[in-house]
């Protein structure tokens, strides 16, 4: 992918940026104030570093429920990241624990159940609305004297020198820092400017996302039902203030967008939902808006460049089949912030090349592994070719009947906190 424009200075030149001098100098600038960028900002600002987070969207617009209808399945590891960022206590009351995961395959009667009793009663994770997480992150960034949220502001160029890098905004402002972190999502401008290519493909599927109310309680059960068109997942949410039982739905579809259930009238949609939900939920009614997200895989060939690093969706984006995209991004953030904080204690430069190389080395394998696993799962469960279907069901049965395999998958679902770097572990209560 060719960069649209690139005005990179000779990295060996230590001259300051040629244009207007930067208005303000930070230790780190984070490009992108989505969930990944804001979390990075909180973690770094917590350590005393001066951090700016730049996002092109006006914050009030991102707090409207039309902006992002998704929920996130937060693993144990990600919870610890959010604790270290100082926001878990703000969403604790809104993050609904998952105590059981049911897996069904098409019309097969086989049911694979993971129950929290099998892992010492610990929950598998929590379902939180992205809107609630974003609100909490805004609140935390505003509290931190060392963090600055610059939005709306769109980055249009970078200038990289030997000792620092600057970013220029479309409104003419410019800011500099010793490290620039690109957390600007799948279509990352930062990645494109750095000239980093990607490996990417589309699954020719869309995720239709919405919230629903249902007659009977969900009992903290998450259900993933694999249909040939893609998975249909129901994720437990807390009851509404009016006492209605609620879940979030991720319904994977393929085929032309014009035929999407996105356009169905309310009665047909509710009937479709009720038919897909397990019968124990009773009648199901969609509430709020419906959202649609195209699904694909993307992985950057590199996560680093001089004085720059990529994290989360800017570095890799995966199919939501296992609800792991942001969890994976949080592991990047934890690793990078840990390396920066470790060095900062000795006054080290947060953009030093050997540290960036260590970040990339420590994160690539995990990211490639998860991208490969979700890609294989997506292909395996979207295939209705009889031999594949039979092999898949045999595999599910084997997992159901072989406790060590079951425990392995349950640990994966929980996101091993033991893999997290020390910064995060130290902050975890």
Preceding omega of 229 cis (within 30 degrees of 0):
no
Q: Is residue 203 a contact residue for ligand FAD (CB under 6 A)?
A: no
Q: In the set 49, 51, 53, 73, which binds ligand FAD (CB under 6 A)?
A: 73
Residues 124-163 that bind ligand FAD (CB under 6 A): 154-155
Between 247 and 327, whose beta carbon lies closer to ligand FAD?
A: 327
Between 56 and 393, whose beta carbon lies closer to ligand FAD?
A: 56
Q: What is the DSSP string of 133-148?
A: HHHHHHHHHHH-TTEE
Cα(194)–Cα(158) distance, rounded to whole angstroms?
A: 9
Q: Is residue 298 a contact residue for ligand FAD (CB under 6 A)?
A: no
Q: Is residue 42 a contact residue for ligand FAD (CB under 6 A)?
A: no
Distances 412 to 202, 253, 341, 419 between C-alpha atoms, Å: 25, 26, 27, 11
Stretch in the footprint of ligand FAD (CB under 6 A) among 26-34, 133-141, 253-261, 279-287? 26-34
Among 254, 255, 248, CA closest to 277: 248
Least distance to ligand FAD, CB of residue 170, Å: 8
Least distance to ligand FAD, CB of residue 319, Å: 9
Residues 210-269 that bind ligand FAD (CB under 6 A): 250
Q: What is the DSSP string of 88-126?
A: HHHHGGG-EEE-EEEEEETT---EEEEEGGGGTT--SEE
Q: Judge whether 419 and 327 are in contact, CB under 8 Å.
A: no
Tokens describing residue 232: 């249909």
Rounded to the nearest 10 degrees, the angle between the axes of helix 325-344 and helix 353-381 is 170
Q: In the set 30, 35, 221, 273, which binds ligand FAD (CB under 6 A)?
A: 35
Least distance to ligand FAD, CB of residue 315, Å: 9
Would you say the C-alpha torsion 34, 40, 41, 42 has a positive or negative sign? positive
Stretch in the footprint of ligand FAD (CB under 6 A) among 131-139, 183-191, 221-229, 270-278? 183-191
Least distance to ligand FAD, CB of residue 289, Å: 14
The 3-state DSSP class for residue 332 equals helix
Q: In the set 27, 51, 52, 55, which binds ligand FAD (CB under 6 A)?
A: 55
In this structure, what is the dihedral angle of CA atoms 398, 402, 406, 408, given to the nearest 10 degrees?
-110
Q: In the set 91, 103, 222, 312, which binds ligand FAD (CB under 6 A)?
A: 312
Stretch in the footprint of ligand FAD (CB under 6 A) among 102-110, 113-121, 322-330, 368-376? 322-330
User: Which residues contact ligand FAD (rule: CB under 6 A)?
Assistant: 31-37, 54-57, 70, 72-73, 154-155, 183-185, 189, 207, 209, 250, 293, 312-313, 320, 323-327, 329
């Amino acid at each position: 992918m060719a960069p649209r424009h690139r005005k990179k200075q000779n990295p060996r030149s230590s001259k300051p940026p040629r244009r207007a001098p930067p208005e303000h100098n930070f230790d780190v600038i984070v490009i992108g104030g989505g969930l990944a960028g804001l979390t990075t900002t909180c973690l770094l600002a917590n350590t005393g570093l001066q951090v700016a987070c730049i996002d092109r969207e006006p914050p009030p617009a991102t707090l409207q429920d039309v902006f992002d209808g998704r929920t996130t399945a937060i693993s144990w590891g990600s919870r610890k990241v959010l604790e270290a960022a100082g926001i878990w206590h703000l969403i604790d009351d809104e993050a609904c624990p998952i105590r059981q995961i049911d897996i069904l395959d098409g019309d097969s009667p086989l049911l694979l159940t993971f129950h929290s009793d099998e892992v010492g009663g610990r929950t598998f994770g929590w379902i939180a609305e992205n809107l609630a997480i974003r609100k909490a992150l805004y609140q935390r960034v505003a509290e931190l004297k060392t963090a600055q949220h610059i939005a709306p502001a769109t980055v249009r160029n970078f200038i990289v020198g030997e000792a620092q890098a600057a970013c220029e905004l479309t409104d003419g402002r410019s800011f500099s820092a010793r490290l620039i972190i690109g957390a600007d999502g799948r279509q990352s401008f930062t990645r494109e400017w750095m000239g980093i290519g990607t490996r990417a493909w589309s699954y020719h599927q869309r995720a239709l996302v919405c919230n629903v109310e249902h007659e009977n309680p969900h009992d903290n059960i998450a259900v993933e039902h694999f249909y040939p068109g893609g998975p249909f997942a129901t994720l437990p949410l807390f009851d509404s203030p009016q006492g209605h039982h609620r879940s979030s739905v991720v319904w994977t579809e393929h085929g032309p967008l014009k035929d999407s259930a996105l356009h169905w009238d309310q009665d047909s949609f509710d009937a479709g939902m009720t038919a897909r939900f397990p019968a124990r939920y009773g009648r199901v009614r969609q509430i709020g808006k419906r959202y649609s997200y195209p699904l694909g895989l993307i992985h950057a060939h590199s996560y680093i460049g001089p004085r720059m690093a990529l994290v989360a969706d800017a570095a890799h984006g995966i199919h939501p089949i296992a609800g792991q995209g942001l969890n994976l991004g949080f592991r990047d953030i934890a690793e990078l912030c840990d390396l920066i904080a470790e060095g900062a204690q000795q006054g080290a430069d947060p953009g030093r090349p050997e540290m960036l190389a260590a970040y990339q080395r420590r994160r690539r394998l995990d990211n490639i592994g998860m991208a490969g696993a979700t890609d294989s799962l997506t292909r395996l469960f979207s295939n209705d070719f009889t031999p594949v279907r039979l092999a898949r069901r045999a595999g599910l049965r084997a997992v159901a009947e072989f406790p060590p395999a079951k425990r392995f998958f349950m640990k994966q679902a929980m996101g091993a906190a033991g893999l997290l770097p020390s910064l995060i572990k130290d902050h975890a209560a």
